[in-house]
Amino acid sequence: MTHQNDYSLSPELVAEITQNGLQAVPEMLRVLLNNLMQAERTKYLHADEYERTAERQGHANGFKPKTVKTRVGEVTFAIPQVREGGFYPTALEKGLRSERALTATLAEMYVMGVSTRKVKQITERLCGFEISAEQVSRATAQLDQTLQEWRNRPLGAITYLYLDARYEKVRENSQIRDAAVLIATGITPQGERQVLGVSVSLSEQEIHWKDFLKSLKDRGLNGVKLIISDSHEGLGAARRAVFGSVPWQRCQFHLQQNAGSYVPRQSMKAEVAANIRAIFNASDRNAAEKGLQAAVQKYAISAPRLSAWMEENLTEGFTVFDFPLEHRRSIRTTNSLERVNKEIKRRTRVVGVFPNEASCLRLVTALLMETSEEWQIGKRYCFAKSVDC
């Protein structure tokens, strides 16, 4: 055991900082944390060194050196000891958590396609040391546990539920296949946005959707008044099986895009799009239905396939008219979730082909956790009053 009493910032260290700037950072970190840890031990014991008090709950027992790899290089700290045991400074533990977070980030770099050589160069620059494959493996295991806990966290009341799917390339048995990435977000009765869950699988669409929706309910999701989504394959049957009594709003933006496939001439597309927007922007359902019937008759001869498609599909975008006017702009489309998907695409495009489902789920979950944290500290969604209808 070593013993050290004076951890004040010496005039010599002040002079070194003034002269050498950032080169003195390791010593500054050592002095700062040593002071913090010694103060924490004093608080833990309810007495300073050699102090006799009735409140004392143990005895100081010197210091033990510990060398830690940090972003400014290796630093040797003096860890305060307690004779009776049971004490370890949280100041140092927080630093270790920070280093583990850095290591986990570096592990993700491997997943995202950054070469081992480049990762080693980055760790050398940031931390003063290289990261080994074994360290990456351990960091990935820690990261997976954190991500799984987030995916399985309890849910509560959600008034508006948004669902969407995207696809990523995944290698399986030496073949490249499309894995469906299912994402759910929602708006609480207080108007707050939440990222609710994510699932990645190569399985059949309906089964995957059903399992995903059931998992949301099993985690406590309740109070859903409306589901907003596009007409994804397999989602309709799964939605009816799990949320049979909940109304469905088909994304109006995607409906307008889908209509373009039934327009016989390119010159008609702008006109048809304007007609559909006018229908969706109607003041109420009755006005929207009148506008739809007029459009169906208008195109019955010039574009019969479009006319039939509009009559069969556009009413699926009318559910929004049953909800408060101030909510409609935000629940008529899945645009908010589309923006999340665009950010995911921007980050996964670097990878190209994921080596397996687990690596895809790991990266997408990490990105969604990041989005979720941004939403938590951001403003409420957009509603002037409670979303309870």
Q: Which residues pair with 172 in a beta bridge?
A: 175
DSSP letters for 251-292: -HHHHHHHHGGG-SSGGGHHHHHHHHHHHHT-SSHHHHHHHH
Is 378 found in the same domain as 316?
no
User: Using an 8 Å Cβ cutoff, are 98 and 90 in contact?
Assistant: no
The first and second tokens of residue 100, run together, are: 């583990």
Is 292 found in the same domain as 175?
no
- Range name among 98-112, 236-250, 255-269, 329-343 with the lowest pLDDT average: 98-112
Whether the predicted pLDDT of 3 surpasses 50: no
Answer whether residue 69 is part of any domain: yes
Is 225 found in the same domain as 172?
yes
Answer whether residue 190 is part of any domain: yes
Alpha helices in the chain (DSSP H): 11-20, 25-45, 90-111, 116-127, 133-151, 205-218, 235-242, 252-259, 269-280, 285-298, 304-313, 325-331, 335-348, 357-377
pLDDT in tens, 125-182: 555 555 666 666 666 666 778 888 899 999 999 999 999 998 999 888 888 998 899 9
Answer whether residue 6 is part of any domain: no
Is 193 found in the same domain as 48?
no
Q: Which residues pair with 69 in a beta bridge?
A: 74
Is 370 found in the same domain as 294?
no
Is 24 found in the same domain as 107?
no
DSSP letters for 283-332: SSHHHHHHHHHHHHHHTTTT-HHHHHHHHHHGGGG-GGGGS-HHHHHHHS
Is 34 found in the same domain as 165?
no
Whether the predicted pLDDT of 117 surpasses 80: no
The phi, psi pair for 375, rounded to 5°, reads: -65, -35
Is 215 found in the same domain as 284?
no
Is 244 found in the same domain as 169?
yes
pLDDT in tens, 214-224: 999 999 999 99
What's the CA gap between 211 and 267, in Å, rounded?
44
Is 268 found in the same domain as 120?
no
143-175 as b/e, with b when 16 or more CB fall inside 10 Å?
bbeebeebbeeebebbbbbbbbbbebebeeeee
Answer whether residue 5 is part of any domain: no
pTM above 0.85, yes or no: no
Report DSSP state, residue 5.
-
Q: What is the pLDDT of residue 161?
A: 96
CB atoms within 10 A of CB 50: 7
Answer whether residue 368 is part of any domain: yes
What's the CA gap between 89 and 169, in Å, rounded?
45
Is 259 found in the same domain as 285?
yes
Boundaries of domain holding 294: 252-333
Is 262 found in the same domain as 324?
yes
The domain total for the chain is 4
CB atoms within 10 A of CB 176: 11
What's the CA gap between 145 and 139, in Å, rounded?
10
Answer whether residue 347 is part of any domain: no
Domain endpoint, select from 133, 151, 169: 151
Answer whether residue 165 is part of any domain: yes
Answer whether residue 344 is part of any domain: no
Q: What is the pLDDT of residue 93?
A: 62
